[in-house]
Structure 1
Amino acid sequence: MTVPTPVSGDDAYAKLAELGLTLPSVVPPLASYVPAVQSGNYVYTSGQIPMVDGKLPYTGKVGGDVTAEQGVEMARICALNALAAIDALVGLGRVIKIVKVTGFVASAEGFTGQPGVINGASQLLGDVFGERGRHARSAVGVSELPLGAPVEVEVMAEIA
């Protein structure tokens, strides 16, 4: 079995461009916290909701007002917002590993597809960082999220 060559941190910018993605502006905090914080060789993002240009594209619960497919796209946006927060703090070029992703899905009663929804975030991180984007993860169903967001994602990254 061959092990893929790791992508350097600077290649994350090239990979984003190749995917047709640009980092958005950092989503301003909704309360008393910062978008990301560094501790030692790790950066932890605050929970990122799928804000696009200051608005939520969808509100409501996945499996109800929001389809699972829309939830997957919202999780991708959350991950992109998390990358923007990391980039603003330390630069994506310093990321050597995505360590952990925690995803929260506002879920309609009976909806059990949280892992599939959070795959949207995991896939984006894998697309951008390759093997270095593979991570541990939790996908949790919740009753409500801030502003009625359907999804929220936190990312922990190891940096050089």
Structure 2
Amino acid sequence: MTAATPEERLAELGHTLPEVARPVAAYLPSVRSGPYVYVSGQVPLVNGVLSETGKVGADVTPERARELAAVCALNAIAAVRAEVGELSRVRRVVKVVGFVASDPSFTGQPQVVNGVSELLGEVFGEAGRHARSAVGVSVLPLDAPVEVEMIVEVE
């Protein structure tokens, strides 16, 4: 039987939500406006430390980048929970934007960002299905290989 709440599904999947990542510059981790929570770009920080650095397709394998994208998603989910109290208040994940620091020859950004999309689907079910962009960039903050931002609709 599948767990009833997003928090229970996270636990069932073996994930623990981290503390909200501290901003590395002058911004908030998330902002609520009406029924929407806008989550700032989240990099793959674990316990406040960047998990890996470099370009996907050169320094970081696509498979590892996909795992790191899921870490970004966990950080984004933590920011949402901090904003609204409990994840069962999420009506829908509306939009995800995934940025992939890419070697110039790397074109697999969509597959990397699938690490985010698949986790959101597992955690939120149908409400986790979303519109998405997967963008290759030359560099990201702190030399992170991936960064993820999202917009969710809440009760």
1:131 CA drift (Å) = 0.8
Letter in 1 for 2:61: T
Give the distance between the partners of 1:57 and 1:24, measured in 2 at CA: 14
> Cα deviations across residues 58-113 of structure 1 (Å, max 9, x unaligned)?
10000000000010001000000000000011121210100000000000011000
Question: Distance between the aligned counterparts of 2:25 and 2:48, measured in 1?
Answer: 15
Q: 1:47 aligns with which of 31, 41, 44?
A: 41
Partner residue, 2:61: 67
Alpha-carbon distance between aligned partners in 2 of 1:43 and 1:69, rounded to the nearest angstrom: 29
- 1:41-72 deviation digits (Å, cap 9, x = unpaired): 00010000000011112100000000000100
Alignment root-mean-square deviation, CA: 1.3
1:100 and 2:95 matched: yes
Runs of 4+ in 1 over 4 A off after TM superposition: none
Indicate whether 1:29 and 2:12 are aligned: no
Q: 2:114 pairs with 99, 113, 119, which one?
A: 119
More strand by share: 2
Scaled by the length of structure 1, the TM-score of the pair is 0.93
Q: Who is 1:154 aligned against? A: 149
SS at 2:7 equivalent: helix
Structure 1 unmatched runs, 5+: 1-6
Which of 56, 61, 84 pairs up with 2:50? 56
